[in-house]
Structure 1
């Protein structure tokens, strides 16, 4: 066993979770090959079932696992994280969602990143894996694959990184120095990344296919819309806070503005979609103008072609056999998936204007557990 460079406090926020999902996640966290860890299950006092399950699971591993109970009146993930942060005793704080399946060697590699790169933050990769469960699950899985395998690295090169809310590791003294997470922000992960980027903290992106944390897609279209509404609403909160305006360079501020404004652009697209359909059906325009309206199809078709290539890479990286039917589902499902995202962003914009920041939590069914056998 190598000598550890840092120790880890792993926070596992849970709310309205089943014992099966929580136990599987905890087993993989406690089964890490790193020798110096602790796990803190974070729950809310108004969720007695999950509190009881958490305490039962902690009693089975009292030397490794403790339970943090958030008693605040307002319930959301960042408030639970802040309550748990006060209980953390190790060098680095890591976050794993209730359904996260961590690779056994993950913390050993993250430890190496902290020591060798002198990092303040290490962002690991998350991968949704139940791509065959529904038409939208395939697109959702590919979206995660492209974000963690490619886009986050591009952000790192720009010096602005909107962190993910899972498999992210931050030095405890760094978190404490900025008072943890913003308890009012629904995108507390993105907000944390913005504030740490402003402070010029060293953030390292770590991706390896065999070390990704495996999770599941939302189990229904309704759940997907609620999840994306929450994310969009959180991004709108982050841009409204204006912390990003303190980034040191104009280029970083432009990248931040463009990234955080994507949800507003998506909401605008949600307004344009029905108008475009009505115009196509009832509008009568000269042929040159009609042909001009098809110009946006060129980059759209190119993007879909790129997605098809990335789907093959997704299967190769994670040991899944991608069939022709999967490619067909990806292409045919793309416009419908974009409509769902546009509707979610539009819904978020309405909530933002109404100051409705209630937490719509994503429920976990454990659909990803049947996909764990595949290996790259």
Structure 2
């Protein structure tokens, strides 16, 4: 037989025989195989996952993109879940309101109204509070010794309603809201203490409904609804209004059900017994309402939230973007103070402590996001992002779009409930203001962290001009809850007008 393979193959062809089977041989060493890239030896092929060959700058940048995406997704999903809590069922929604047929009055009330440089709005607030149809309540207006304008309008209101309004002068330094509230608390005579801001527009049936809610639920705290009204003033006032709408309409009900709730700054009613137990409000905290809510939650207090749109307390958004930034900075810094104080660690369950930690650390999350957002944007426009990283950055888009759709629905419902005409341009502003407002929130959080690190704890006051009242074309409608009340008995509390220092 010939040893020449060429001749052997040729002879097979001539005879019509098939070609012999050839066993493919693996290439030696590293070589290129069509459609398979580089083939290495067996030892290298078993090495598994390899980290990308990025330089330090790329590692930092791509990691920032991933972190921002994860944080934005977590915040969007949790926010969406809380926003929709009240609408998950008809029973849920019905249970969020005051009773349609309130019980007869069984409690006495003291209403605290601190005011500082509020001469433009405080007189009307005091007059509105004096119109409450509840038989047993008093009003204490707290003014600063260095604020003659507010002192004047408060005393004029006390002269108009001598059986209801007292004026207390706060001469402490430096001044802040919790100090003023603690001063007035010492002379409060009501079984239940309520807090209002100097610009509040309060419904005349509110105390009757709150009284009934205390009786029905045996509550220690009742948090009423608060709503900003001037949604057409600026692009950011629209989003600020919707924040309040979802916060008081839904989110606070979720927190109350979870037995951990940061209380609102006004339209909040606490039994005098609980306030005496807690020594009032923390005078060193910039979010004294949140701090009080955390302490009461940790003590197991029964906190009830009630929201009926017709009787919410109406307010205005801050008058300028700078004022809004200061207000949000103060809230964020106050949350950080509450987090550091550690009262939330006394909550009995791990789930409550988780909610508390997440809510109170939100300023940190927003601050980190605020720092990473510009880095991420720069990288997206200057560096070719790997496919995997690019896909991760699109994850927050889905919950954000759902969130925007919910806000569209919320804006439409807000307009329907409060009799406000929502225009096409309002929806447009809602869309284009989404990203700028998130950047603003991050900026306020970064500023809060900066102030906290520098131990700057001064109270930055929010100015009020009464824009929500200018927007009111008609007076507040008294809702037909329960039967019409007849002549009211004389107030049971011993009330004195004038300076009660």
Q: TM-score interval w.r.t. the shorter chain? A: over 0.9
Q: Distance in 2 between matches of 1:52 and 1:2?
A: 38
- Name which of structure 1's ranges 98-107 and 46-55 shifts more when overlaid on structure 2: 46-55
Give the match for residue 269 of structure 1. 369
More helix by share: 1
Structural RMSD (CA): 1.5
Give the match for residue 491 of structure 2. none
Q: Counterparts in 2 of 1:209-358, with a 5 A limit?
A: 209-358=309-458
Q: Is the 8 A contact 2:122 2:150 kept in 1?
A: no
TM-score normalised per structure 1: 0.97
1:76 aligns with 2:195: no
Once the two structures are TM-superposed, the CA of residue 293 in structure 1 deviates from its matched residue by 1.9
- Higher relative contact order (Cα pairs below 8 Å, separated by 6+ residues): 2
Q: How many residues align?
A: 375
Give the match for residue 163 of structure 2. 63
The answer for unaligned runs of 5 or more in structure 2 is: 1-101, 480-501
Q: Distance in 2 between matches of 1:90 and 1:293?
A: 55
CA displacement 1:305-329 (0-9 Å, x = unmatched): 1111111121122221222221111
Give the match for residue 277 of structure 2. 177
Q: Distance in 1 between matches of 2:126 and 2:459?
A: 24
Q: Distance in 1 between matches of 2:389 and 2:221?
A: 51
Once the two structures are TM-superposed, the CA of residue 146 in structure 1 deviates from its matched residue by 0.1
- Name which of structure 1's ranges 161-170 and 303-312 shifts more when overlaid on structure 2: 303-312
Q: Counterparts in 2 of 1:12-161, with a 5 A limit?
A: 12-18=113-119, 20-161=120-261
Q: Distance in 2 between matches of 1:83 and 1:150?
A: 33
Q: Distance in 1 between matches of 2:260 and 2:392?
A: 36
Q: Is the 8 A contact 1:68 1:87 kept in 2?
A: no
Once the two structures are TM-superposed, the CA of residue 288 in structure 1 deviates from its matched residue by 4.2
CA displacement 1:175-207 (0-9 Å, x = unmatched): 011100000001000000000001111111011
Q: Is the 8 A contact 2:228 2:314 kept in 1?
A: yes
- Name which of structure 1's ranges 99-108 and 366-375 shifts more when overlaid on structure 2: 366-375
Once the two structures are TM-superposed, the CA of residue 3 in structure 1 deviates from its matched residue by 4.3
Q: Distance in 2 between matches of 1:112 and 1:286?
A: 61
Q: Classify the secondary structure of the residue corresponding to 1:228.
A: helix
Matching residue within 3, 6, 10 for 2:111: 10
| Structure 1 residues 254 and 291, CA gap change in structure 2 (3 angstroms) | closer
Q: Classify the secondary structure of the residue corresponding to 1:217.
A: coil
Q: Classify the secondary structure of the residue corresponding to 1:284.
A: coil
CA displacement 1:249-297 (0-9 Å, x = unmatched): 1111111111111111111111112112211221222344333322222
Give the match for residue 22 of structure 2. none
Q: Is the 8 A contact 2:104 2:212 kept in 1?
A: no
Larger Rg: 2
Q: Distance in 2 between matches of 1:49 and 1:317?
A: 36
Give the match for residue 79 of structure 2. none
| Structure 1 residues 244 and 318, CA gap change in structure 2 (3 angstroms) | same
Q: Distance in 2 between matches of 1:314 and 1:113?
A: 24
Q: Classify the secondary structure of the residue corresponding to 1:41.
A: strand
The answer for unaligned runs of 5 or more in structure 1 is: none
Q: Distance in 2 between matches of 1:344 and 1:286?
A: 32
Q: Distance in 1 between matches of 2:155 and 2:273?
A: 28
Q: Counterparts in 2 of 1:199-218, with a 5 A limit?
A: 199-218=299-318
Q: Is the 8 A contact 2:219 2:303 kept in 1?
A: yes
Once the two structures are TM-superposed, the CA of residue 212 in structure 1 deviates from its matched residue by 0.3
Q: Is the 8 A contact 1:181 1:188 kept in 2?
A: yes
TM-score normalised per structure 2: 0.73
Q: Distance in 2 between matches of 1:368 and 1:108?
A: 24
Matching residue within 249, 253, 263 for 1:163: 263
Aligned structure 1 segments of 4 or more residues deviating by more than 6 angstroms: none
